[in-house]
Amino acid sequence: MRFCCVQGGRITSVTAGGQQIRAGVFIDATGRRAVLLRALAGTQGFDDGQFSGRQFDNRRFDNRQFNDRQTVIWARFGLPGVESGAEFGAGFGNSTWLEAAPNGWWYAAEVPGRAAVVALGTDPKLAKAGGVYKVHSWAAALSGTALIAPRLKQARLLPVSFRITASYSYRAARVVGENWLAVGDAACAFDPLSSAGIYKALVNGQEAARAICDGYREAYANRIHQDYETYLIKRAELYQAEQRWAKSAFWAQRQGRAQGEAQGHRSVSPKEMSTLA
């Protein structure tokens, strides 16, 4: 989406893929890109109702409140076919595997197509210092895991699948407007450790539909914010549970033992947000 036109507090049209789209209600379901919300954040006086049909470039603005700025570095592995008879460690079965590490956590799960996805969640600065933005160093770090590496025996790393993805925890300052709503990760995003993002997106979609039909938009907004508060409490408990690495900056920051982003709401600058776009 390139432009968003707002008039009298209502979105009148958006321009996407070279087409101008008009609708009675607009829903931002663009995930972590939050394209519509960021376009709206670009309006001067967004909260005081002084809209005047201006057009805004959506790439320069963001008014989300961030609680954590982790990054996820991940890749796919090809698993040997069942018919090959190759030994495939113990496999991951139907479970998602999580393994804490000094500088973050590892995540692994089988996905359709005889493949597995393996991810490292960490801080961008730690990733840079540890060299794990490079596939070989990342694979070397993975080989040191106690639970996940043995389950990848005979699996083949697919280097072209290697990716770095922002996995920030945040909520939008506003999720409902005159004729728009945000759902899923556009409204708020959880740490992948919560394993709740897909469920949340589906439930948000149902609730947003009801809010549009029945007009309970404030109730919808309150629900999103309550869910996010509940998530923050659960998330704190989750990170508190890992007590092995007293000197680790990653865990200290998330356990309230260091000053940092996990301790309060913080907006990121447009420059920082460019890593998400």
| Pair 62, 267: CB distance under 8 Å | yes
Q: How far is the CB of 100 from ligand FAD (least distance, A)?
A: 16
User: How far is the C-alpha of 48 from the C-alpha of 14, rounded, in Å?
Assistant: 21
* Nearer to ligand FAD (CB atom), residue 119 or residue 149: 119
Query: Which amino acid, residue 199?
Result: Y
State yes or no: residue 63 binds ligand FAD (CB under 6 A).
Answer: no
Query: Looking at 115, 139, 164, 196, which residue binds ligand FAD (CB under 6 A)?
Result: 196
Q: Which of 105, 118, 38 is nearest to 78 (CA)?
A: 118
The residue whose two tokens read 């990760």 is 185
Q: How far is the CB of 141 from ligand FAD (least distance, A)?
A: 16
* 96 three-state secondary structure: coil
Residues 128-167 interacting with ligand FAD (rule: CB under 6 A): 165, 167
According to DSSP, the residues that pair with 50 across neighbouring strands are none
Residues 217-246 interacting with ligand FAD (rule: CB under 6 A): none
Query: Looking at 42, 104, 177, 192, which residue binds ligand FAD (CB under 6 A)?
Result: 192
| Pair 73, 107: CB distance under 8 Å | no
Query: Cα–chain-centroid distance for residue 121?
Result: 11
Q: How far is the CB of 162 from ligand FAD (least distance, A)?
A: 13
The residue whose two tokens read 């040191």 is 144
Query: Which amino acid, residue 76?
Result: R
* Nearer to ligand FAD (CB atom), residue 50 or residue 195: 195
State yes or no: residue 177 binds ligand FAD (CB under 6 A).
Answer: no
Paired tokens of 222: 């309150």
State yes or no: residue 29 binds ligand FAD (CB under 6 A).
Answer: yes
State yes or no: residue 74 binds ligand FAD (CB under 6 A).
Answer: yes
Contact residues toward ligand FAD (CB under 6 A) are: 1, 16, 29-33, 35, 72, 74, 96, 119, 165, 167, 184-186, 192, 195-199, 201
